[in-house]
């Protein structure tokens, strides 16, 4: 039995010990001296500060300056911002002398990250004794200011000055500074902070805050860098979470590193955690603005379609992907597959950035055992590759088993990350022997070295007549170049094509379905095309550029290679450029796949585009009308309600001035007198054929795609319909119109099993 006096004594001792412990743990916070403000820059001028040059203007800036990205993270209404006149302006700003009275001088800083050129300096006796620069050197960075501090204990009692310097011109040639204070507590950005993980789960999860400063994350496995990307880590409450799939490193120990870490963050780098799932996975594909029959990635930004190829019963869709943010960046090849062109399964990222650069657009082929029928090439042509020719069977040497490999061609976009700084743009290969599950980068990369500053986007296909592989590559300005190869590795330049910008595409199509009458199609990222002849080395155009689409949300499309002869279709998918998904953990979408055909018109041969027939797999409820007059003020679709629609109609305006579908509150209007089809500011010059207007319209949550006159005219339109009524209208204005036939379908989501 313990004596009561001893129990009381022990309790007192324990209580006293706890008080002492709390004091030592928290006294820096509780008893810290009040900060001394050196400058908060809230006045209209700089007061006693001396300004030289033209970079800093007449006084502190009220936030963002003309031509500048949005500046955030400063306190109050004003800050020092040397973007006056843009990045070409230079100058300095120097404070009066003051006495160092606290252990730290802290400040908010952003802008250019160039040591000694875009910086803040502490001067003692005219010499720089402390310095710090901004955070950015690469395009696409953030203008957010972050805390930094100098430890000045050894300078306490001395008289010093602050000098803010902008001596750089060109990109990020400016500096942002605010709220310079003397403090007892360090407010600091820690450089190259690390955390160690033993990988036992599938994902590393990262919190993201749109608008936060970009930070560089690096992952090392046993000292070897395997990933590097920028991310807007959330300093407090995240907008959403993204993930890095680390399943390939299972059982290994990895070191995660961040280039700059703020001691003021509440979450950020310290919140990264490992798990078999990612936050938000339980609501995946059901988010408010998630398109329901257009492909979008689970997380992050999507742009150009890449590497589209059919292989062993699967359509492979690769795409430009930023897995770690809502905006463009960290270009990686995302990957999804489908057996029907409608339902897609995301397989995860296929090709990751490396020391040669981020992974820009390209194409993919299936390497069949093909034999060349054209003999040796003219040795006077430029020999671009660096390896000797391989055998015709498995000529590349990539195949390791019985399955024909998928070979991907992409641009190694050097100088797009610290990992590849100073490295040029080149062309590279990765290949897969397991049906696209994993890819191996060719150890001899690059297969084509630097040609011009941004040469990119190799499109590769097999040319039957000459028995060779053909590559079309954007070089610079409006020039494509054609290369040929016997083995996918060694490439010879053959000729040029003028008139197109980036993302080349080239293929052959029959005219009016006649296999004995074909033309070759060439187009660039915008989709406008030329028709002509191709002999395996040179394209001879027979037309000028012909407009492909009339919307405002189409770019960087590609068609599938290796479609079986029994199918024979030329199937295209493009990027729904500029269709933003606000407040979502993903952004942008891929347009619905279309089948391309050539048909003779009164203006010559033209390319038509129509939704692939597989869309019928999504049909749900169905309404149809035949031979019905539509009077002014009448709406035959008044009983139709739904979220997702496919509409097919053959209309005769007859006495009407206008005929209009109103799709969930958004009008699609045909004006008879001007022969213009319009929707949300886009228009197409559509003439009636035998007095008839044929329309097919696909309406998803975030888009309306319009196909007129059996696909001759195509209008992809971004439209946020999520808050709109779930109604349809067909209206006639100025007179009665006539419905020859009309079918309306509500559509099922591709993300559900129903």
The catalytic residue positions are 304
Structure-token pair, residue 575 = 């990027």
Q: What are phi and psi of 194, to 5 degrees?
A: -125, 150
Q: Which residues pair with 745 in a beta bridge?
A: 622, 646
Give Rg (Cα) of the chain. Answer: 31
Structure-token pair, residue 258 = 């961040």
CA dist list (Å): 653 to 619, 680, 733, 743:
28, 21, 9, 17
**Please, what is the Cα angle at 609 between 603 and 611, to 5 degrees?**
155
State how far the Cα of 201 lies from the Cα of 481, in Å rounded to an integer. 46
Do 94 and 108 contact (CB within 8 A), yes or no? no
Burial of 727: CB neighbours in 10 Å, binned 0-12, 13-18, 19+: middle
State how far the Cα of 302 lies from the Cα of 330, in Å rounded to an integer. 11
Do 333 and 408 contact (CB within 8 A), yes or no? yes
Closest CA to 590 of 266, 383, 334, 398: 334
End-to-end, the C-alpha distance of the chain in Å comes to: 71
Who's near 572: CB < 8 A, 6+ residues apart?
557, 558, 559, 593, 594, 595, 596, 609
State how far the Cα of 726 lies from the Cα of 744, in Å rounded to an integer. 14
Closest CA to 307 of 469, 459, 523, 147: 459
CA dist list (Å): 403 to 54, 364, 431, 436:
65, 16, 12, 11
Q: Which residues pair with 738 in a beta bridge?
A: 629, 652
**Please, what is the Cα angle at 384 between 380 and 389, to 5 degrees?**
85
DSSP output for 602-661? TTEEEEEEEE-GGGGGGEEEEEEEEEEEE-TT--TTTT-B-SSEEEEEEEE-TT-SEEEE
How many other CB atoms sit within 10 Å of the CB of residue 589? 26
Structure-token pair, residue 712 = 């001759």
Structure-token pair, residue 565 = 């002869």
How many other CB atoms sit within 10 Å of the CB of residue 577? 19
Do 629 and 737 contact (CB within 8 A), yes or no? yes
Do 241 and 274 contact (CB within 8 A), yes or no? no
Closest CA to 660 of 732, 606, 725, 750: 732
Burial of 717: CB neighbours in 10 Å, binned 0-12, 13-18, 19+: buried
Closest CA to 195 of 276, 270, 277, 275: 270
């Amino acid at each position: 039995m313990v004596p009561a006096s001893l129990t009381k004594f022990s309790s007192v001792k324990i209580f006293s010990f706890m008080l002492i412990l709390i004091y030592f743990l928290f006294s820096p916070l509780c008893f810290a001296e009040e900060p001394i403000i050196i400058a908060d820059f809230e006045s209209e001028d700089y007061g006693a500060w001396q300004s030289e040059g033209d970079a800093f203007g007449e006084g502190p800036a009220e936030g963002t300056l003309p031509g500048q990205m949005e500046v955030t993270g400063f306190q109050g209404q004003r800050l020092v911002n040397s973007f006056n006149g843009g990045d070409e302006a230079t100058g300095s700003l120097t404070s009066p002398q003051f006495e160092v009275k606290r252990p730290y001088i802290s400040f908010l800083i952003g802008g250019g990250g160039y040591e000694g050129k875009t910086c803040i300096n502490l001067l003692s006796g005219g010499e720089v004794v402390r310095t710090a620069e901004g955070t950015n050197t690469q395009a696409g960075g953030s203008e957010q200011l972050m805390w930094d501090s100098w430890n000045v204990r050894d300078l306490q009692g001395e008289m010093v000055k602050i000098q803010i310097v902008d001596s750089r011109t060109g990109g990020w040639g400016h500096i942002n500074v605010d709220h310079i204070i003397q403090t007892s507590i360090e407010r600091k950005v820690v450089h190259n902070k690390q955390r160690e993980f033993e990988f036992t789960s599938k994902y590393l999860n990262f919190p993201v805050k749109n608008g936060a400063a970009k930070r560089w994350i690096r992952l090392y496995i046993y000292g070897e860098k395997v990933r590097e990307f920028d991310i807007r880590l959330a300093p407090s409450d995240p907008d959403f979470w993204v993930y890095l799939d680390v399943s390939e490193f299972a059982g290994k120990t990895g070191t995660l590193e961040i280039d700059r870490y703020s001691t003021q963050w509440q979450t950020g780098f310290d919140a990264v955690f490992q798990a078999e799932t990612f936050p938000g996975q339980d609501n995946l594909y059901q988010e408010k603005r998630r398109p329901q029959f257009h492909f979008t990635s689970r997380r992050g930004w999507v742009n150009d379609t890449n590497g589209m190829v059919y292989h062993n019963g699967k359509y492979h869709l690769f795409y430009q992907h930023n897995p770690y943010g809502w905006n463009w960046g960290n270009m990686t090849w995302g990957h999804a597959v489908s057996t029907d062109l409608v339902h897609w399964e995301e397989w995860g990222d296929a090709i990751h950035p490396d020391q040669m650069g981020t992974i820009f657009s390209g194409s993919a082929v299936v390497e069949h055992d093909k034999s060349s029928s054209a003999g040796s090439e003219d040795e006077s042509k430029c020999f671009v590759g660096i390896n000797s020719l391989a055998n015709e069977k498995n000529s590349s040497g990539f195949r390791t088993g019985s399955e024909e490999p998928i070979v991907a061609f992409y641009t190694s976009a050097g100088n797009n990350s610290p990992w590849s700084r100073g490295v040029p743009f080149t062309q590279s290969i990765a290949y897969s022997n397991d049906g696209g599950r994993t890819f191996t980068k060719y150890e001899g990369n690059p297969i084509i070295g630097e040609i011009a500053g941004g040469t990119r986007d190799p499109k590769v296909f097999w040319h039957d007549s000459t028995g060779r592989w053909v590559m079309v590559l954007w070089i610079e300005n409006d020039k494509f170049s054609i290369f040929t190869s016997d083995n996918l590795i060694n490439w010879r330049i053959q000729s040029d094509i003028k008139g197109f910008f980036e993302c080349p595409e080239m293929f052959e199509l029959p005219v009016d379905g006649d296999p004995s009458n074909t033309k070759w199609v060439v187009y660039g990222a915008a989709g406008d095309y030329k028709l002509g002849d191709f002999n395996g080395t040179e394209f001879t155009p027979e037309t000028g550029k012909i407009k492909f689409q009339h919307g405002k949300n189409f770019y960087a499309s590609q068609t599938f290679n290796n479609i079986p002869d029994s199918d024979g279709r030329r199937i295209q998918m493009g990027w729904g450029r500029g269709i933003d998904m606000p407040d979502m953990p993903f952004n942008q979408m891929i347009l619905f796949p279309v089948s391309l055909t050539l048909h003779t018109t009164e203006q010559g041969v033209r390319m038509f585009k129509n939704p692939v027939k597989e869309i019928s797999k999504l049909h749900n409820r169905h309404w149809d009308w035949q031979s019905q007059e539509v009077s002014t003020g009448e709406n035959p679709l008044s009983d139709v309600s739904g979220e997702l629609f496919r509409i097919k109609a053959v209309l005769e305006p007859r006495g009407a001035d206008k005929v209009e579908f109103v799709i969930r509150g958004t009008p699609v209007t045909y004006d008879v007198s001007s022969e213009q089809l319009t929707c949300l500011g886009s228009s197409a010059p559509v003439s009636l054929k035998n007095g008839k207007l044929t329309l097919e319209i696909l309406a998803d949550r975030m888009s309306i795609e319009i196909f007129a006159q059996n696909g001759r005219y195509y209008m992809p339109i971004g439209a946020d319909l999520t808050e709109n009524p779930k109604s349809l209208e067909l209206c006639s204005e100025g007179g009665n119109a006539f419905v020859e036939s009309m079918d309306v379908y509500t559509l099922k989501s591709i993300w559900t099993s129903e």
